[in-house]
Amino acid sequence: MALQPNQGNQFQCPPADPIMTDPERVVRDFYHPQKVQVIHPIQIVNRHHCVPVYEHVYTCTETDEYCGTHPHPHQGMLRK
């Protein structure tokens, strides 16, 4: 075998023919968003209730009463 130029006394092997193996399968999964509508039906029920709420209403009357030990001079007298 011949020595390669500029290599000194080192021996270098010539390039070999490549060996081809069967392909190895590599799977790469990619995920992409897909919109799917989820419909949530909502039923609104308006319920009305009567609740007693007290409203205090006051009435006022006024009367005059005579309170005394001596009767009024005209009380009980008949006019002529």
Q: Give pLDDT tens digits for 38-61.
A: 999 999 999 999 999 999 999 999
Tell if the pTM clears 0.75, that is, is over it: no
Q: Which two tokens stand for residue 69?
A: 């030990």
CA distance 7 to 1: 14
CA distance 3 to 10: 7
